Structures are given as C-alpha cells and as structure tokens.
Chains A and B, each alone.
Chain A
C-alpha cells in the first residue's frame, strides 16, 4: 500500500523561528491535507492541498504532486504552534476512498 513519511519526527525551536515540515508519499494520490493536533488532542484541518501553494497567515503549504511531496512552512513560530502536525493523503479505489496518515512531526516551540 501507499506509504506516507513525515520528517523530521521531532522539532524543537525557539519562539520566532521558522520551520519546514516535509511529507513524502510513495504513490499518486487524489488529495493531500495538513492537520495540527494540539496538546489536548484537538485535530484542526490546516490545508487541503492536492497541488500548488496555499497560504493562511503565518502558515503556508506547497504540494508537488509529480514529485510526491508536500511541505508545510511555519514562520515566526509561537508557543501555540506546538503540537503534532500530520499530513494525510487520500486515495480512491472505485467509489471508495481511504485517508492514509503519516506518523506526524511533533513540534515544540519554547518561549
């Protein structure tokens, strides 16, 4: 089956730093999403980005579908950015779909 790999697995930064998180996938996908799970377990959809670049405030994401990777950029990090960032790819087979998740990047922002 399709493999979704995220790097780095852990990242510790000082407040104000910038970071780049990577998601590689092993096969063609229909869509890709980035999520943030805060320390209390709440999962928030950040981007729905099958290809191209999107920006939302200090966060932006780029997916290069032909090369099977996506990047999530976080600029001027704040402590509230801490948590785990997941990418998930959507694959379909007939009328069915599956959302396959990466293992996540755990981000800790120190004040």
Chain B
C-alpha cells in the first residue's frame, strides 16, 4: 500500500505571496491532518479534514486554510506569506477522524524570503 505523499517537497516563496501544498493520503484513509514544524515552536496542529469537512482546527490565523476533495486528497493554502511561515509542513492520514494511528508524509519544506 502506498504511503502518504506530499508535493512539492521543497518550495521557496517571497513575503506576500501565497502557496498551496498538496497531500495524498493512504488509500482508504478519509482523515487528513496538517501540522507545522519549526525549530522555535516545534510541532503544531493546523487542522484536520474528514470526508471533505474540516473537523478540527488549531490556533493559526485565517491566512492558513485548507480543503479536502472527494478522493480524500487535501490541499493547504497559506496567503500573504510571512517570514515566520518558513517551516516543514507535514500531513498525516488516518482511517478515522481524530489522532488515532496517524501516518505521516515526508513533508514540504517551505522557505519564505
């Protein structure tokens, strides 16, 4: 069974731009969660989508948004990029909603200059 895939793996953007990251979950998994990892703040939960609906949301500003498609693939969008948005963005999939047995993708490394 193929694992969780994320595209692109690396991305460089400038302040003020917007970016879209993609996550394809393991086949059969309907939950996709997104996390931000930075050296200063560690791992932080962004949001979770299950069956195309946002089920949970962390404490991030509205510039961070997401969506999920009918095939469970998910995209995360960050608008008006700031230098502090530079991070490793990880997505995780699970067969049910919540944090049960999440499988992580390799991440997208975003650098904002």
> Footprint of B on A, CB under 8 Å?
31, 33, 35, 40-45, 48, 86, 88, 90, 95-104
Q: Which residues of B contact A33 (CB under 8 A)?
A: 99, 102
Q: List 11 A-B contacts (CB under 8 A).
A: A41-B109, A43-B90, A45-B101, A90-B98, A96-B55, A96-B56, A97-B48, A97-B99, A99-B35, A101-B43, A103-B42
A41-B106 contact given A31-B99, A99-B99, CB 8 Å threshold:
yes
Q: How far is the CB of A107 from chain B (nearest CB, A)?
A: 16
Q: When A33-B99, A42-B106 are in contact, do A88 and B43 touch as well, CB less than 8 Å?
A: yes
- Interface Cβ pair total, 8 Å cutoff: 51
- Interface hits, B32-54 → A, CB 8 Å: 33, 35, 42-45, 48
Closest residue to A35 on the B side, CB-wise? B104
Count, chain B residues at interface, CB 8 A: 24
In the complex, which residues of chain B have a beta carbon less than 8 angstroms from the beta carbon of A45? Answer: 101-104
Q: Is B8 an interface residue (CB 8 A)?
A: no
Assembled-state Cα–Cα distance A2/B88 (Å): 24
In chain B, what residue has the closest Cβ to A40? Answer: B106
Would you call A101 and B44 a contact (CB within 8 A)? yes
- Report chain B residues within 8 Å CB of A102: 42
Q: Are A44 and B99 in contact (CB under 8 A)?
A: no
